[in-house]
Structure 1
Amino acid sequence: MPFLTPSYQPELVALSFLIACLAGYATLSLAAGAGAARRASWAWLGGSALILGFGIWAMHFIGMLALRVPVPMAYALPTTLLSWLAAVLAATLALHTIHRPRVGPRELARGGVLLGLSITSMHYLGMHALRFGGHVEYDPGGVALSVLVAVGAATAALWLGLRVRVTAPAQQERWRLGGALVLGLAIASMHYTGMHAAHFHLDGMGAAGDMPGVLSSLGLARGVALVAVTLLGMAVWALLMNERVTSHVARSAELQRLNGELERRVAERTEALEHAHAELLAYAVAVSHELAEPTRRAAGVTHLLERALGDAADPRVQRYLALLRQEVDSMGTHVAQLKQLPFFQGAPARFEGVSLGVLVRQVRSDLEPLLRGRRVQWVMDELPRVRGDTMLLRLAFTEVLAATLDAAGNVPQPRIEVWAERQEGEVVVSVRHGAPGGEAPPRAVPLALRAGERIGLASARRILHQHGGSLETEPGLVRLRLPADPEVKVWRAEGEAVVCQPA
């Protein structure tokens, strides 16, 4: 019987090694997803076994195609399918072992032996499907060596799969790539060790293509191998995409948890701040009531001293009395503002059309007792109508005009200018103080730095903010921004400002 010397096609050998590495990468990727798939164990195990078994079988089949002997060759279809089933069985055993919650050294060794024998069975069933008009004899030593290599490769695959499963996600990719190369080399070594143990003899049988039930077309065999490679690549790609989606979902869930935690903490802090603010407000009102009576008594005593001493008092005593009167009045203003804090804080705004001209004239009348004999020159433009709450706006303008008069200092005849401009749906009202004749006083006091601003102007600022506006302060100047009344199209008459001289 003639002995046939086999050879191997290098590009197919390289392709079989690549397929082995892909199969190893798929194995380790499936191992990493084992924990996440326990809720659907049978579906995960069956689908993964089909994918991985197809990859292992594809490596073996392409390795068989790499074999070259000087006679036509073909493959028996039933036996070839049986070898594929053996590959699926091997993949099922491997994934079942990896899927177990706890795997000790004994379970690892037993699984490696069973997996190695299954891979060996797949290989020799595929060799048995070979038809070439002769027969194959095996070297017992080579067969035993191939079985040992298969068991060793299977045990290494199971160990790497378990190692990847317990590795942190950030380190898994490195283990997969390194493990895929190791497994690819181990699987290819087992296959070609088994091929080296085979001896081909020609015994004069018919041509391979004339035998029934065989795949005699080399193109068809290569097409099957191409489909196997494509499916394995798609499986690996699907595994990678699934991991990315799972990682994204996990990160999204973590972000939602963190956002929920942040919202909960913000709500708790907000509630605590509101509680503290309510307590502080109650304390301020209580203090204002406690200070009201002593302030009234101090004002009465000061008035009695002024009447008792009269104009005959020493100029220095008169100056002291004037300073005392000023401080008592300032204290009375602070007490009144403290009492009004609850109204500023909680009063709901009732929006309606408000005439600023009428409102400012009312505020001027309210402020007459604070002038203390000074002759104020009011210079006012025709003021427009705005949208807001009449009572709240009256309180805000009272605070602004009172602060402006206070900032004017001790000028005998201060000049207070009030005018308005319309800018993109809002009205900007400006209030400025100066000396007679329109000149600024030599020492204009910044309103933002004067005593009581944190109560008076701050309350006015809150009212304007409640109306959707704002309050801006500069040395000697205050700007109030309010929404314009949309029903009024033209509000400013042509002509010069109206000058109100004191009587």
Structure 2
Amino acid sequence: MEGTVDGFRYGAVTPVAAYLMACLGGALGLRCIVRSLLDEQSWKPGWLALGAASIGCGIWTMHFIAMIGFEVEETRIRYDAGLTVLSLAVAIVVVGIGVFIVGYLGASRGTLAGAGVVTGLGVAAMHYLGMAALRLGGSIRYDTFTVGLSVLIAILAATAALWAAVTIRGFLTSLGASLVMGVAVSGMHYTGMSAVSVHLHGTTGASWAGDSPSSLLLPMLLGPIVFLVLAGVVVMFDPLLVLGEGERSRPGTARQPGTARRPGTRQQPDRDPGFRAPARTPQPNREPYARKW
């Protein structure tokens, strides 16, 4: 018997909330990566790790907020806590691999392709590992073609996000890239969910082993959301990210060419290039008085 699958139990609430979380994680991650590239003297591994954790938490939070709206009408749904936590770890670690590759090796085509494939496969692994955490009165089946399409979307989205992270500097352009990234990640999720069909077992309506969505997902979502808020505070109060690259040339430190001076010397006043010092008036030759004979 085939179950009736509904991915929009609460209407547009869960898709919109999931999309916003994906955008938030993407925006924070991109800004952290930009921060690591603006100043090579800063703690680069720390900023890259914060960016990877932000993107990974955003993707994972997006997935499980969307899953709150998923139901099979004929049976209850529960979740395995261990696999759910493991999916979060996979998201952060694999995104981190891609972020560190482009952060240290640059944005060449080969580097972006390799990092995008690794990160995209990690995002897809997080999605389907989270689906494996489902516990219900039936077996989940997938359409092979649609699953492959969702993996391809994940790879393209990851490659585009990594490219944006190493090439885009401005705040507004980063914001636009995060909105596009949210569309791609949400599109990957709902493409993968469209591949799902449920074959019910003989007994329906039973309470299967595992935690219910409300008892497991809502408390677990709180941690990543708090982390994203704290990451947002760090990004907002970082001077280099707020003011941009121009902050490195602080007021009072810029000098005109040719006016550099060594420490301990007095700065000479600026002179008009067309100014000429008055020439000295030649003094008449003064011969000694002739002696009187």
TM over 0.5: yes
Partner of 1:103: helix, strand, or coil? coil
CA distance, structure 1, for counterparts of residue 42 and residue 241 of structure 2: 18
Distance change (3 Å), C-alpha of 1:181 and 1:51: closer
Structure 1 residue aligned with 2:291: none
Partner of 1:215: helix, strand, or coil? coil
Partner of 1:257: helix, strand, or coil? coil
Structure 2 residue aligned with 1:228: 224
1:79 Cα shift? 0.8
Matched, 1:269 2:268: yes
Which one of the candidate residues 133, 137, 141 is aligned to 2:137? 133
Which one of the candidate residues 192, 215, 222 is aligned to 2:211? 215
Structure 2 residue aligned with 1:44: 47
Aligned counterparts, 1:185-196, within 5 A: 185-196=183-194
CA distance, structure 2, for counterparts of residue 234 and residue 249 of structure 1: 23
1:30 Cα shift? 1.9
Structure 2 residue aligned with 1:75: 79
Structure 2 residue aligned with 1:159: 163
Structure 2 residue aligned with 1:107: 111
Structure 1 residue aligned with 2:251: 255
> Given residue 26 of structure 1, which amino acid in structure 2 is its aligned partner?
L
CA distance, structure 2, for counterparts of residue 56 and residue 207 of structure 1: 31
Whether the 8 Å CA contact 1:76–1:131 is kept in 2: the answer is yes
Percent sequence identity is 30
1:153 Cα shift? 0.8
Partner of 1:162: helix, strand, or coil? helix
Partner of 1:111: helix, strand, or coil? helix
Structure 2 residue aligned with 1:28: 30
Structure 1 residue aligned with 2:121: 117
1:229 Cα shift? 2.7
Whether the 8 Å CA contact 1:4–1:202 is kept in 2: the answer is no
Whether the 8 Å CA contact 2:140–2:199 is kept in 1: the answer is yes
Matched, 1:174 2:169: no
Aligned counterparts, 1:298-309, within 5 A: none
Higher strand share: 1
1:263 Cα shift? 9.3
CA distance, structure 2, for counterparts of residue 154 and residue 53 of structure 1: 11
Aligned counterparts, 1:408-487, within 5 A: none
> Given residue 5 of structure 2, which amino acid in structure 1 is its aligned partner?
T
Partner of 2:238: helix, strand, or coil? helix
TM-score by length of structure 2 reads: 0.79
* C-alpha RMSD over aligned residues: 3.2
> Given residue 4 of structure 2, which amino acid in structure 1 is its aligned partner?
L
Greater C-alpha Rg: 1
Q: Alpha-carbon deviations, 1:129-175, whole Å to 9, x = none?
A: 011221100000111111111111111111111221xx4xxxx1121
CA distance, structure 2, for counterparts of residue 135 and residue 243 of structure 1: 52
1:41 Cα shift? 3.8
Distance change (3 Å), C-alpha of 1:19 and 1:246: closer
Which one of the candidate residues 84, 92, 96 is aligned to 2:100? 96
Structure 1 residue aligned with 2:181: 183
CA distance, structure 2, for counterparts of residue 208 and residue 154 of structure 1: 39
> Given residue 237 of structure 1, which amino acid in structure 2 is its aligned partner?
V
Structure 2 residue aligned with 1:64: 67
Higher helix share: 1
CA distance, structure 2, for counterparts of residue 74 and residue 46 of structure 1: 32
Partner of 1:269: helix, strand, or coil? coil
TM-score by length of structure 1 reads: 0.48
Whether the 8 Å CA contact 2:120–2:156 is kept in 1: the answer is yes
Distance change (3 Å), C-alpha of 1:207 and 1:47: farther
The unaligned stretches of length 5 or more in structure 2 are 272-279, 287-293
Distance change (3 Å), C-alpha of 1:65 and 1:31: same
1:47 Cα shift? 3.5
Structure 1 residue aligned with 2:5: 5
CA distance, structure 2, for counterparts of residue 97 and residue 129 of structure 1: 30
CA distance, structure 2, for counterparts of residue 23 and residue 216 of structure 1: 26
Structure 1 residue aligned with 2:154: 150
Q: Alpha-carbon deviations, 1:238-267, whole Å to 9, x = none?
A: 2122145774997486324249x7998993
Aligned counterparts, 1:187-206, within 5 A: 187-204=185-202
1:81 Cα shift? 1.3
> Given residue 194 of structure 2, which amino acid in structure 1 is its aligned partner?
H
> Given residue 267 of structure 1, which amino acid in structure 2 is its aligned partner?
R
CA distance, structure 1, for counterparts of residue 203 and residue 40 of structure 2: 52
Structure of greater relative contact order (alpha carbons < 8 Å, 6+ residues apart): 2
> Given residue 25 of structure 2, which amino acid in structure 1 is its aligned partner?
A
The unaligned stretches of length 5 or more in structure 1 are 273-282, 291-503
